[in-house]
Structure 1
Amino acid sequence: MTQEKRYPRNMRGYGATPPNPNWPGNAHIAVQFVLNYEEGGENCILHGDNASEAFLSEIVGAAPWPDQRHWNMESIYEYGARAGFWRLHRLFRENQIPVTVYGVATALARAPEQVSAMLEADWEIA
């Protein structure tokens, strides 16, 4: 029985002899910066959800708050849109670093000024 039949995932890859990707300037590494834009896309009763966000936060042991607003959770997400995004935007623009944005559609729809800034900076929105 071959290894592939025993375990269906390819854990070998190219092995000891990877192909040469022929990157510009004979570079040996490629770095991609990806910004997750989720602020405004989290679970919130204002969005019609039954409870507040409980999964993606810095609050240890966060639990959903059914049928009520979780002001601390909302504040964490609002901070990202109000301050965090703009700090990263300045940093990447000043250093002319290309960025890919993984954006939650509802979050992007609620942030037209940030989306305009992404487009003006020629960031890829995925």
Structure 2
Amino acid sequence: MIDTPRERLPYSAIIDRPKLTLPDGARMAVWTIMNVEHWDSTKAQPRTILPPPMGQPLLPDVPNWSWHEYGNRVGFWRLNDMFKNYGVKPTLAMNGMILQTYPRIAETALEGGWEFMGHGYNQGPMHKLDDQREHIQSTVEAIKDFTGKGPVGWESPGLTETMETLDLLSEAGIEYVADWPLDDQPVELKTTTGKQMFSVPYPVETNDITMMALQQHSSEEFAKRCIDHFDRLYDDSADITRIMGISMHTYISGVPHRSKYVEQVYEHITSKPDVLIWTGEQVMEWYKTQL
């Protein structure tokens, strides 16, 4: 039994590690996580933009459910056009239920060569589930049945885990997680299964939930922060290889008033030499070759 996060990995200063070498002389890689979620209209919504009228919660919460629904009806398609323009193939972090409620999105991602990553079966915290193993397996099987290939990556809803989550994910064939935002490079995590498990750098800073839903910045902050973050990592990567993630949600970044700022980020990143635009799986597979 592993009881604490520290037991999963030892401390390691990035300046003390063996040199990592990306292919083709690249110095850093950027991966994009596109979160597509199923919100159950019969329950309290995972996030809200409008408070309950007169302080009286209600179900169904039509306005907040609709706020999210816009992202999958409209926002996804706006972002998908942009990704195609810049040659970006994101990692689709998806609830298993997406295949039933939003199959058109899944079909488009599959046709576009996106990576499919598990993101729970429904949008809800892992630590509140009665049976994590069944929940994980249902998600993995749904993706495998649709794509023909089981997912190797996992992002828990809200990055929530218990101390058994990683071991259950490993049992289900997951090889990397995006729940541990603790480094600029992939790291290996210990599991009770003895199988390899990696953490691929996932962003909580260059993440539209953090900036817009929680910190409530104006729309241009997304471009400013992501570009500033990238520029510093690009400078750092002259000496030490870095991995950067950008995480977006259809109902946050897919709205009209944020679209040009998202485009500014990818215009900037793709203009720089020696930068790879990868998926999370590509990052993990490359890192394995460096061990």
TM-score range with shorter-chain normalisation? 0.7 to 0.9
Gaps in structure 2 of 5+ consecutive residues: 118-291
- Verify the 8 A CA contact 2:98 2:106 in the aligned structure 1: no
Q: What residue number does 2:39 align with? A: 42
Q: With structure 2 as the length reference, what TM-score do the two structures score?
A: 0.34
Partner SS, residue 29 of structure 2: coil
Q: What residue number does 2:44 align with? A: 52
Distance, in Å, in 2 between the alignment partners of 1:93 and 1:25 is 23
Query: After TM superposition, what 4+ stretches of structure 1 lie above 6 angstroms from structure 2?
Result: none
Distance, in Å, in 2 between the alignment partners of 1:96 and 1:8 is 37
Q: What residue number does 1:33 align with? A: 32
Opposite residue 84 of structure 1, the aligned amino acid is: G
Q: What residue number does 1:122 align with? A: 113
Number of residues of Structure 1 aligned to a counterpart in Structure 2: 111
Q: What residue number does 1:111 align with? A: 102
With over 3 angstroms needed to count, the CA separation of the structure-2 counterparts of 1:15 and 1:89, relative to structure 1, is closer
Distance, in Å, in 2 between the alignment partners of 1:108 and 1:57 is 24
Is 1:23 equivalent to 2:22 in the alignment?
A: yes
With over 3 angstroms needed to count, the CA separation of the structure-2 counterparts of 1:15 and 1:24, relative to structure 1, is closer
With over 3 angstroms needed to count, the CA separation of the structure-2 counterparts of 1:115 and 1:8, relative to structure 1, is closer
Partner SS, residue 47 of structure 2: coil
**Match 2:92 to one of 101, 105, 109:** 101
Distance, in Å, in 2 between the alignment partners of 1:89 and 1:76 is 19
Opposite residue 16 of structure 1, the aligned amino acid is: I
**Match 1:90 to one of 78, 81, 97:** 81
Higher mean displacement: 94-103 or 22-31: 22-31
Per-residue deviation, 1:32: 0.6
Distance, in Å, in 2 between the alignment partners of 1:64 and 1:116 is 39
Structure with the larger helix share: 2
Identity over aligned residues, as a percent? 25
CA RMSD of aligned residues (A): 2.8
Query: Greater CA radius of gyration, 1 or 2?
Result: 1
Gaps in structure 1 of 5+ consecutive residues: 1-6, 46-50
